[in-house]
Amino acid sequence: MLRVGVMVSGGGTNLQAVFDALDTGKVTNAQVVVAISNNPGAYALERAKRHGVEAVCLSPKSFPCREDFEQALLEAVDSYRLDLIVLAGFLVKIPAKMVEKYEGRIINVHPSLIPSFCGVGYYGLKVHEAALKRGVKVTGATVHYVDSGMDTGPILLQKAVEVKEGDTPETLQRRVMEEAEWVILPEAINRIANGATGPGRLPGCNG
């Protein structure tokens, strides 16, 4: 059974998608054992509690320096003996020590078709604002492994989403979540849990 920890900063809609997929059997051989947030006001923590999953908040503001926060975060992750760490809208840079220690065991969902609209500064609505400004006709989401770079790790899954006339960043964000993020993130977890993918066995693009 794959022990999964989900790290999230906001509402936790991707976390809910994972819970729903586990409840309906779309994800098997896995369990979410903890949800970790840097934001005490994150609704994701409430979603976790309602699902019987331990919810942990570690805010950088609660520590005297960044190094102390990063050490506490690593110790918290270590304490749950996680097989997989899922970044589902976690707006804090993962400490280098954690990336190194959990190499090949951290995945992230990003709201674009990497390598488009990714890297430093591209998060949340900013991704969709950039896509609309550029005038692309197709966008989407990507699940990838986390490495020492920013959105540069090996890609597991991608799913395309049509950009429609009249889209705003908000409507596009919602469609990308519903049609792509909430689909491929649970699928990626299921593939990893059942040995269908890994750093050396990357599937092609979906959608």
Task: Count CA within 13 A, CB hemisphere, residue 78.
Answer: 10
Q: Cis omega (within 30 of 0) on the bond before 115?
A: yes
What's the rounded Cα separation, in Å, for the pair 191 and 7? 19
Catalytic residue list contains 144: no
Please pick, among 51, 110, 128, 144, the residue that the annotation labels catalytic: 110
Residue 64, classed as helix, strand or coil, is coil
CB 141 within 8 A of CB 162: no
Question: Which is nearest to 104 in space by CA: 6, 1, 201?
Answer: 201
Q: Copy the structure tokens of residue 94.
A: 């993962």
**Smallest Cα–Cα separation from 184: which of 86, 50, 84?**
86
What kind and span of H or E run contains 73? helix 66-79
Annotated active-site positions, please?
110
